[in-house]
């Protein structure tokens, strides 16, 4: 069967897709928690204030089964109840702020040493996939890339437990995006 074509997420998803605590895979103070943050930039080097990033990863033990509860709802009034603070769902969703900045709080994935990323934005007709490696794992993808491109997938340690990862959609330092077809 032929697939349904993609269309841009547009500019107005902000009241529909992001949810409170969407970027907090683990609560503050969680043992082993790491924060990954950065900007999304366009081809002119300007921050993109209307991008949406989704993250999907294994838990610390390398389990990729995932768990429900990312968008937990309150059954009384239908509002977002937020994550339960115990279940690691493996899924996060963060919209960039007006400055093009995003933040994810998570744990290091066990098993495959990366966090899978899906990028949506106004102006982007078809989402893009990339990966965040918290250190250069030297896996098959990273070793297949020239050094400058390889570096775009490896988050830079800023201080203890804090990593910087920018997404550059186009041009100088363009992020490696993946063909998963």
Partner 1 sequence: MPEPLSQETISREIAELAARSDGGDHPSRDYPPYRSSGLRHPHRPLVAPPEAYAELRGPVFGASDVTPLDADLTRQHPGEPLGERITVTGRVVDRDGRPVRGQLVEVWQANASGRYPHQRDQHPAPLDPNFTGTGRCLTDDDGRYAFTTIKPGAYPWKNHVNAWRPAHIHFSVFGTAFAQRLVTQMYFPGDPLFPYDPILQSVTDDKARERLVAAYDHELSRPEWSLGYRWDIVLDGPSATWMEEGR
Q: Which of 102, 109, 134, 154 binds partner 1 (CB under 8 A)?
A: 109
Using the rule CB under 8 A, is 125 a contact of partner 1?
yes
Q: Which of 89, 108, 151, 164 binds partner 1 (CB under 8 A)?
A: 89
Angstrom CA distances, 28 to 25, 123, 143, stand at: 10, 34, 34
Half-sphere exposure of 62 (CA within 13 A, CB side): 4
Q: Could you tell me which of 93, 114, 109, 100 has the C-alpha nearest to residue 24?
A: 93
Using the rule CB under 8 A, is 8 a contact of partner 1?
yes
Q: Which of 29, 31, 86, 140 binds partner 1 (CB under 8 A)?
A: 140
Half-sphere exposure of 1 (CA within 13 A, CB side): 3
| Smallest distance, partner 1 to C-beta of residue 130, A | 9
Using the rule CB under 8 A, is 13 a contact of partner 1?
yes
Task: Give the range of 8-16, 37-45, 52-60, 163-171 binding Fe ion by CB under 5 A.
Answer: 8-16
User: 3-class DSSP state for residue 120?
Assistant: strand
Residues that bind Fe ion (CB under 5 A): 10
């Amino acid at each position: 069967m032929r697939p349904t074509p993609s269309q841009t997420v547009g500019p107005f998803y902000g009241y529909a897709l992001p949810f409170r605590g969407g970027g907090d895979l683990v609560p503050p103070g969680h043992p082993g928690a790491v924060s990954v943050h950065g900007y999304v930039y366009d081809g002119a080097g300007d921050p993109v204030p209307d991008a949406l990033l989704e993250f999907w990863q294994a838990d610390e033990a390398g389990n990729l089964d995932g768990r429900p509860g990312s968008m937990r709802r309150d059954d009384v009034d239908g509002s977002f109840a937020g994550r339960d603070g115990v279940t690691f769902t493996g899924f996060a969703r963060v919209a960039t702020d007006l400055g093009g900045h995003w933040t994810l709080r998570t744990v290091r994935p066990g098993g495959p040493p990366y966090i899978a990323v899906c990028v949506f934005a106004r102006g982007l007709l078809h989402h893009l996939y990339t990966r965040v490696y918290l250190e250069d794992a030297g896996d098959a993808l990273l070793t297949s890339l020239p050094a400058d491109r390889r570096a775009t997938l490896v988050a830079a340690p800023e201080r203890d437990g804090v990593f910087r990862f920018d997404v550059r959609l186009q041009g100088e330092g363009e992020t490696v995006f993946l063909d998963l077809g």
